[in-house]
Amino acid sequence: MSPEIFFQIIVNGLFTGGIYALVAVGLTLIYGVMVIVNFAHGEFLMLGIYIAFLGNSLLGIDPYMIIPIALVLIFGLGALIQRGLVQRVLDAHPLNQIILLVGVGMLLVGLVQFFFSAEPKAIHVPYETAVISAFGLRFAIARLVAFFASMTISLLLYLFLHYTRIGKAIRAVSQSRDAARLMGINVNFIYYLTFGIGVAITAVAGVLLAPNHRMIPTMGQGYSVIAFVVVVLGTMGNFIGAFLGGLIIGVVEAFAGFYLGGDVKIIASMLIFILILLFRPAGLFGRKRA
């Protein structure tokens, strides 16, 4: 393999991995605070991309301009879902939590399919195939933007969690719900906030994909599965772990796609996932077996 191809694969992998990282950071945030696996996680990415589609086809807005709208809308939806549904099963049998979230996911897919049909859709923007060449490598503009936006949002979220009062409260709740409550933190409010943020940044990942990605209502499932892989790889609940895990899985998939073909590249992630689950379920950054 020539160095150009090698680095090109790494670049492509990192670009995909940036999106994975953003999705996984949302999932790991929710898991870290509430110890609940959001089985409907990918569906929020799907909602994001359809919001971009709607804004673009109805109002002619550029997908990137839709990011704030999607952020607010999906944050609200997430907080509502947390408040109305998830909150009530936090102490229930894990099976009930999974069933509830699987149900929410199906409902979202069903509604989108009902209103937009199951036919693939795409957004057309002038820059969708634009490419810049540098160092002998090719960078697709839309994917470059998506990558840097993902990095920026992850960094902002990290700073938010570490340097603001509310961010610190979120981390406090993730360390100990009861101790946080005793310190006067409104735990339920933190839960609404966390679920809202977690799914909102996932929806943003969807919007970032919009300019050069076909969309179907069932596309979320694949991203859910990838997010599970990434989050377990990077230790459930670990922010930096999910972020790095996303980039790692992106690169692994890019190489698997190069050697095995695009339609079977997922087998590499699944293999890593199964091996991690079996031999190191605490993930790369965990101290002991979960």
Burial string for 219-239 (b: 16+ CB within 10 Å, else e) reads bbbebbbbbbbbbbbbbbbbb
Cβ neighbours around 156 below 10 Å, total: 11
Residue 80 touching other proteins (CB under 8 A): no
Residue 111 touching other proteins (CB under 8 A): yes
Residue 33 touching other proteins (CB under 8 A): no
Q: Which of 51, 52, 104, 244 binds other proteins (CB under 8 A)?
A: 104
Which of 161/268 has CB closer to other proteins?
268
As a whole number of angstroms, the distance between CA 290 and CA 283 comes to 9
Residue 78 touching other proteins (CB under 8 A): no
Residue 92 touching other proteins (CB under 8 A): yes
Residue 54 touching other proteins (CB under 8 A): no
- The interface mask with other proteins, positions 152-181, x = CB under 8 A, is ------------------------------
Q: How many residues of this chain bind other proteins (CB under 8 A)?
A: 50
As a whole number of angstroms, the distance between CA 161 and CA 182 comes to 20
Is 195 within 8 Å of 77 (Cβ atoms)? no
Residue 87 touching other proteins (CB under 8 A): no
Q: Which of residues 236-275 bind other proteins (CB under 8 A)?
A: 236, 263-264, 266-267, 270-271, 273-274
Q: Which of 180, 229, 230, 244 binds other proteins (CB under 8 A)?
A: 229
Q: Taking the C-alpha atoms of 230, 232, 237 and 239 in order, what is their torsion angle to the nearest 10 degrees?
A: -30
Q: Taking the C-alpha atoms of 62, 68, 72 and 75 in order, what is their torsion angle to the nearest 10 degrees?
A: 100
Q: How far is the CB of 220 from other proteins (least distance, A)?
A: 10
